[in-house]
């Protein structure tokens, strides 16, 4: 394809280090689509004859059918998917195949193919996020009233509702969704026609190729177009952050399923056993979601480091952009699907959650709040009084909400019996009615608002 100025062939190792077909064959659909768009534009502009354009188009269609049937013959000498497609086209249609590469370079070709591929990855990620969001909303609705301990520092803080806790992940997923759609809007420009780096003297119509590939417009600068991999970084960043959120949820599932917590049982479908310990039910899928996040973060870092020292325009280092993207895409798709499945199928154990929530004196803030609202005590002093009540409860070996009125009045005589019902975990969560708060009523409102927002997308 480029041997005109060479007398000898590449060494075996040169061939091996140079070849990317084993990886970039995944771009075959995009490569064929972009080539068809390019050839058709060349025809419209009178650069290709009708007959040649038709032969190329039919030939590319045939190559696509072959590859779709798994009949790609990989040859390291042909380096990458672009040369494989063009070479096979030549075998099928002969001379006109050699005209396809007019006013084009592999540099704008790969940039175009890869944008098309990443655009699909974005659409898939959004679908995966939407599916997880739907499951989170359903489970949150089911558990709008379920009380669980809310933690800070992994210490019981205040009771919350499980519905509210699950909706926190829904918020993260909504932001991740917008990260992907923002990236899509920014990257949706066609590099085709940038050629190697400088543009071309042929009278191309770049708007035509852009619109036939559903790009919003052609890229503005040919040097940027062949060097830019920001769009991949944007994808990887969104993927990495999504995977970090999934990993936090995965970590919670691992904790919740452990015996000391006992907040959930993992169904058989999401558990593995041990080859030696017959008792085991392990949360492997959650652990792998947590592990995959590490790999996806690595993919993002790998590409950033590949890019950081590159002078403009194209350098072959850019060929190494694909493994991290493919890896991240595959891992993210699995992670999203596994998380949606796990959340859908988890059995929550509300009695245990409630018991742990009640055991941590987690309504001490409610006692302080009562002292402020019903007895006019300044909050700082109320905090101190409630703290002393916790110490009394601890010494008596019972939870705060089990102290008698007498015990509470010994701490501070301003406490009267109307304070006591405020100390149950149910009243505590019901009282948290501030916007965005954990009260069951607020959780139901949040779910309704989420469903309305989804219907408008
Ligand atoms: N396989 C190459 C890549 O993925 C295609 C571009 C090759 N361009 C070149 N000038 N050698 O980056």
- Report whether 34 contacts 113 (CB < 8 A): yes
Question: What integer pLDDT is reported at residue 280 of this predicted model?
Answer: 86
Nearest residue (CA) to ligand 1, atom 7: 106
Q: Identify the residue whose tokens are 């169904």.
A: 267
Q: Which residues contact 120 (CB under 8 A, 6 or more apart)?
A: none
In 172-289, DSSP assigns E strands to: 189-190, 217-218, 264-265
Calculate how far, in angstroms, residue 240's C-alpha sits from the geometric centre of ligand 1.
Answer: 26
What positions carry a catalytic annotation? 153, 274
Q: Please identify, by atom number, the ligand 1 atom nearest to the C-alpha of residue 110.
A: 5
Is domain 107-355 classified as CATH 3.40.50.300? no
Mutation test residue for ligand 1: of 316, 320, 321, 325, the one with most atoms within 8 Å of CB: 316
- The continuous run of DSSP H or E covering 156 comes out as strand 155-161
- Report whether 181 contacts 451 (CB < 8 A): no
DSSP string, 201-231: SS---HHHHHHHTT-SEE-S-HHHHHH--HH
Nearest residue (CA) to ligand 1, atom 11: 316
pLDDT at 359 over 90: no
Q: How many whole angstroms separate alpha carbon 317 and alpha carbon 326? A: 16
pLDDT at 281 over 90: no
Calculate how far, in angstroms, residue 104's C-alpha sits from the geometric centre of ligand 1.
Answer: 12
**Which residues line ligand 1 at a C-beta cut-off of 6 Å?**
20, 24, 80, 106-107, 110, 314, 316, 318-319
pLDDT digits (tens, 9 = 90+) for 79-105: 999 999 999 999 999 999 999 999 999
Nearest residue (CA) to ligand 1, atom 12: 319
Query: Which two three-digit tokens encode residue 164?
Result: 């509210």
pLDDT digits (tens, 9 = 90+) for 314-345: 999 999 999 999 999 999 999 999 999 999 99
pLDDT digits (tens, 9 = 90+) for 384-402: 999 999 999 999 999 999 9
Question: What integer pLDDT is reported at residue 195 of this predicted model?
Answer: 98
Confidence of residue 297 (pLDDT cuts 50, 70, 90): very high
pLDDT at 1 over 80: no
Instruction: Count CB neighbours of 68 within 10 A.
Output: 12
Calculate how far, in angstroms, residue 183's C-alpha sits from the geometric centre of ligand 1.
Answer: 24
Q: Please identify, by atom number, the ligand 1 atom nearest to the C-alpha of residue 80.
A: 1
Mutation test residue for ligand 1: of 110, 312, 325, the one with most atoms within 8 Å of CB: 110
Q: Do domains 15-102 and 107-355 have the same CATH topology?
A: no
Calculate how far, in angstroms, residue 110's C-alpha sits from the geometric centre of ligand 1.
Answer: 7
Nearest residue (CA) to ligand 1, atom 10: 107
Mean pLDDT of the 356-362 span:
90
Mean pLDDT for all residues in the chain: 97
pLDDT digits (tens, 9 = 90+) for 123-158: 999 999 999 999 999 999 999 999 999 999 999 999
Q: Which residues contact 344 (CB under 8 A, 6 or more apart)?
A: 135, 138, 139
Question: What integer pLDDT is reported at residue 144 of this predicted model?
Answer: 98
- Report whether 428 contacts 422 (CB < 8 A): yes
Q: Please identify, by atom number, the ligand 1 atom nearest to the C-alpha of residue 114.
A: 4
Mutation test residue for ligand 1: of 27, 107, 303, 326, the one with most atoms within 8 Å of CB: 107
Secondary structure class of 47 (helix, strand, coil): coil
Q: Please identify, by atom number, the ligand 1 atom nearest to the C-alpha of residue 322.
A: 4
Q: Which of 122, 106, 124, 125 is nearest to 34 (CA)?
A: 106
pLDDT at 2 over 80: no
pTM: 0.96
Q: What angle do CA 180, 140, 367 make, to 5 degrees?
A: 115
pLDDT at 296 over 90: yes
- Report whether 393 contacts 402 (CB < 8 A): yes
Q: Which of 369, 373, 398, 402 is nearest to 386 (CA)?
A: 369
Query: Which two three-digit tokens encode residue 403?
Result: 């102290």
Q: Please identify, by atom number, the ligand 1 atom nearest to the C-alpha of residue 79.
A: 1
Integer angstrom CA distances of residue 358 from 160, 201, 354, 385, 425: 11, 76, 6, 19, 6
Domain ranges of the chain: 15-102, 107-355
Mean pLDDT of the 112-120 span:
98
Q: What angle do CA 414, 416, 418 make, to 5 degrees?
A: 135
Phi, psi of 8 (to 5 degrees): -115, 165
Query: Which two three-digit tokens encode residue 287?
Result: 């652990």
- The continuous run of DSSP H or E covering 166 comes out as helix 162-187
Q: Please identify, by atom number, the ligand 1 atom nearest to the C-alpha of residue 24.
A: 4
pLDDT at 418 over 80: yes
Calculate how far, in angstroms, residue 442's C-alpha sits from the geometric centre of ligand 1.
Answer: 54
DSSP string, 378-413: -HHHHHHHHHHHHHHHHHHTS-GGG--HHHHHHH-T
pLDDT digits (tens, 9 = 90+) for 13-43: 999 999 999 999 999 999 999 999 999 999 9
Confidence of residue 276 (pLDDT cuts 50, 70, 90): confident
Topology of domain 15-102, per CATH? Answer: Fumarase C; Chain B, domain 1 (1.10.275)
Mutation test residue for ligand 1: of 27, 80, 196, the one with most atoms within 8 Å of CB: 80
pLDDT at 180 over 80: yes
Query: Which two three-digit tokens encode residue 438?
Result: 């954990």
Burial of 205 from C-beta contacts in 10 A (0-12 / 13-18 / 19+): middle
Calculate how far, in angstroms, residue 316's C-alpha sits from the geometric centre of ligand 1.
Answer: 6
pLDDT at 446 over 90: yes
Q: Which of 126, 257, 117 is nearest to 187 (CA)?
A: 117
**Strands 347-348 and 264-265: what pairing?**
antiparallel
| DSSP for residue 125 | H
């Amino acid at each position: 394809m480029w041997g005109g100025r060479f007398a000898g062939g590449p060494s075996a190792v040169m061939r091996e280090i140079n070849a990317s077909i084993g990886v970039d064959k995944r771009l075959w659909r995009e490569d064929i689509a972009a080539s068809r768009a390019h050839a058709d534009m060349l025809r419209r502009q009178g650069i290709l004859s009708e007959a040649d354009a038709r032969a190329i188009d039919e030939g590319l269609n045939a190559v696509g059918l072959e590859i779709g049937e798994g009949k790609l013959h990989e040859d390291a000498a042909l380096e990458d998917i672009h040369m494989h497609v063009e070479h096979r086209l030549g075998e099928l249609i002969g001379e006109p195949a050699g005209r396809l590469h007019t006013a084009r370079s592999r540099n704008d070709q790969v940039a175009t193919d890869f944008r098309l591929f990443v655009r699909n990855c974005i659409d898939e990620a959004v679908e995966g996020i939407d599916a997880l969001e739907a499951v989170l909303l359903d489970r949150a609705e089911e558990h709008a009233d379920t009380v669980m301990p809310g933690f800070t520092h992994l210490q019981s803080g205040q009771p919350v509702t499980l519905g509210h806790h699950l909706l926190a992940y829904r918020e993260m997923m909504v932001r991740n969704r917008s990260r992907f759609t923002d990236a899509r809007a920014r990257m949706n420009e066609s590099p085709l026609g940038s050629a190697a780096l400088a543009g071309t003297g042929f009278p191309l119509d770049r708007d035509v190729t852009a619109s036939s590939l559903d790009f919003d417009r052609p890229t503005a600068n040919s040097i940027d177009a062949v060097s830019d991999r920001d769009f991949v970084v944007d994808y990887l960043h969104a993927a990495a952050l999504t995977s970090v959120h999934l990993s936090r949820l995965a970590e919670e599932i691992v904790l919740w399923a452990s015996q000391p917590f006992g907040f959930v049982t993992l169904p058989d479908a999401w558990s593995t056993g041990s080859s030696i310990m017959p008792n085991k039910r392990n949360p492997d899928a959650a652990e792998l979601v947590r592990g995959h996040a590490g790999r996806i973060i690595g993919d993002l870092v790998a590409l950033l480091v590949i890019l950081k020292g590159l002078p403009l325009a194209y350098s072959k280092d850019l060929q190494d952009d694909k493994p991290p993207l493919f890896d991240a895409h595959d891992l993210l798709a699995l992670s999203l699907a596994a998380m949606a499945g796990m959340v859908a199928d988890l059995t929550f154990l509300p009695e245990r959650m409630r018991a742990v929530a009640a055991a941590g004196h987690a309504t001490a803030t409610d006692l302080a709040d009562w002292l402020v609202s019903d007895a006019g005590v300044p909050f700082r002093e109320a905090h101190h009084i409630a703290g002393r009540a916790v110490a009394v409860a601890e010494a008596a070996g019972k939870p705060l909400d089990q102290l008698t009125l007498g015990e509470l009045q010994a701490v501070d005589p301003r406490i009267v019996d109307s304070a006591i019902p405020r100390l149950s975990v149910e009243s505590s969560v019901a009282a948290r009615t501030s916007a965005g708060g954990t009260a069951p009523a607020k959780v139901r409102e949040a779910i309704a608002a989420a469903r309305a927002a989804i219907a408008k997308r």
